[in-house]
Structure 1
């Protein structure tokens, strides 16, 4: 177990599901590491919650494994990281809240953001223009003759406050794991644990290293959809199904089903045979010929 992320992207584990809560981390995973995941959070103003979704981003278990093995992410145990505060810490936190008017707890390392000279100059110019405009309107009102229907009113000035949104309270101590072995020993992450899951992870990593993007292929009768580039720009070319062993038989009816389903969705079905001894993958494609 490590005390910090050590420059890695944090994956917050909840019930054996890896979630990403940072927009910047989502962009980095997609643009740099061609990992897409699936957005699962709802958006208040989106009419179709099955089309437009928001944070958090949920990752496939194979995506988690390949990212951890290549030193890109760290697995965070949020449940264990939130420890109960001591009486002294709680009393200190309450004193800070009282001193700051029940706002955000004070962080000793936090420094209020300061404006640059250019930003300060622009703010002063906007304030001067606003005051000049208010003065002009006031002069126009004063110059008009008062009538029984004329009333005078004054505007209340508005003020804005910047409150730092921080959650670095004293009793949050990050507990993260940098390897799958450490996470398994702690009971935080158990995938892969079977021969089939190991085969899927091996095939996924092989395709990932070739530069492909992978998405969930459940709707198309396979394990993943294989894209030549970002799914926002490309259609998938293959529906991949992992065969855990090279000696495992494939029924003729399965071959027919794979071929018909792939043709109906304008894709080729990709059979991925995993060799546990050599740690290599054999690929075979199935598609109907003579159509169209």
Structure 2
């Protein structure tokens, strides 16, 4: 099965998804939270609200690829600029500018005619000359503008000429600098080279703790008894935060920390007792349950979980 959701893998082995429809599907249908990493075009200097693209962790990429929900691609660098790509981009910009220019023209004409009484009363007395040029673009707009066609019949000649000058001045203000640019959600490069990669390739050369995190995430995500929502848990000192519902509707219940135990030494752990106490106290203070996740044995893929409660002694 070929997935329709394209995920692009970069050097840090995290995936980026640029299509907003794909992001909505991942959130609503597959319980994938991810992390928005881009600035909003309207507010580029703030970081309180972020936008596209959505960044997926290595763990999210692997489990989605194994379930054939996404296809992972690696862009082959370097990217070579093509003259044809550049010309195509400029052509698309020019076409979009002409569309916006027409739309803006009709909006300005309607706005001027709506306020024509106040405009004529204030300025027509000081108007003595005809500066209107026979601009073909403006004339074509006026011919298709119903408001002008209906209004111009009741205007005197000097009023008509005056409004034409006002319209001309206003429309000249709309240049390329004021047009809206639609951000592309996919590359249209002719010579773009991508390579399909698998989750096995993404997991190559991982450290023991990174392998454990991937296995724990998959075990929680694919749990048959309960559909969990999982997000990054670094802000609370853990690896994952686990929710019973969409994170926009509820708080997380568990702080999961992945622990190497049997992989290092039999019946040992790399978490000092003082760190374990600190993690437990943090969980209690934020009204969550501290969970330690590890493998049952070095050769087993089964994950076991240990919950820790603080009794206040």
Residue 152 of structure 1 aligns to a residue in which SS? helix
Which residue of structure 1 lines up, in the alignment, with residue 292 of structure 2? 271
Asked if structure 2 preserves the Cα contact closer than 8 Å seen for 1:8 and 1:71, the reply is: no
Pair 286,48 (structure 1): closer, same or farther in 2 beyond 3 Å: farther
- Which residues in structure 2 correspond to 1:1-292 (within 5 Å)? 6-16=2-12, 17-46=14-43, 49-80=46-77, 82=79, 93=84, 97=87, 103-104=91-92, 131-142=145-156, 152-154=162-164, 155=167, 167-177=187-197, 179-181=198-200, 184=201, 189-190=202-203, 193-210=206-223, 211-246=227-262, 247-249=267-269, 250-275=271-296, 276-289=298-311
**What TM-score results when the alignment is normalised by the length of structure 1?**
0.70
Please state whether the residue corresponding to 1:41 is helix, strand or coil: strand
Instruction: Name the count of aligned residue pairs.
Output: 245
Indicate the SS of the match to 1:19: strand
- 1: distance between equivalents of 2:32 and 2:208? 24
How far apart are residue 226 of structure 1 and its match? 0.8
- How many angstroms does 1:253 deviate by? 2.0
CA RMSD, 1 decimal = 3.8
Judge conservation of contact 1:217–1:239 (CA < 8 Å) in 2. Answer: yes
Q: 3-state DSSP class of the match of 2:162?
A: coil
How far 1:102 sits from its partner (Å)?
Answer: 5.2
Q: Distance in 2 between matches of 1:9 and 1:67?
A: 10
Higher-RCO chain (CA-CA 8 Å, sequence separation at least 6)? 1
TM superposition shift of 1:283? 1.3
Asked if 2 retains the 8 angstrom alpha-carbon contact of 1:192 and 1:198, the reply is: no
The runs of at least 4 consecutive aligned structure 1 residues that moved more than 6 Å come to 127-130
Q: How far does residue 67 in structure 1 lie from its aligned partner after superposition?
A: 1.4
How far apart are the structure 1 equivalents of 2:42 and 2:187?
A: 26
* Structure 2 CA distance for aligned equivalents of residues 84 and 151 of structure 1: 50
Q: Distance in 1 between matches of 2:242 and 2:89?
A: 54
For residue 103 of structure 1, give the secondary structure of its aligned residue in structure 2. Answer: helix
Give yes or no for contact 2:258–2:293 (8 Å, CA) kept in 1: yes
Whole-Å separation in 2 of the counterparts to 1:203 and 1:128? 66
Question: Relative to 1, partners in 2 of residues 1:49 and 1:80: Cα closer, same or farther, differing over 3 Å?
Answer: same
Greater Rg, structure 1 or structure 2?
2
Q: What is the distance in 2 between the residues matched to 1:25 and 1:206? A: 24
Structure 2: state its 5+ residue gaps. Answer: 94-140, 172-178
Alpha-carbon displacement from aligned partner over 1:73-129 (angstroms, at most 9, x marks no partner): 2221223495676xxxx6xx38x95xx895149xxxxxxxxxxxxxxxxxxxxx999
The gaps in structure 1 that reach 5 residues or longer are 106-126
CA pair 78-192 structure 1, distance change in 2 beyond 3 A: same
TM-score (norm 2): 0.66
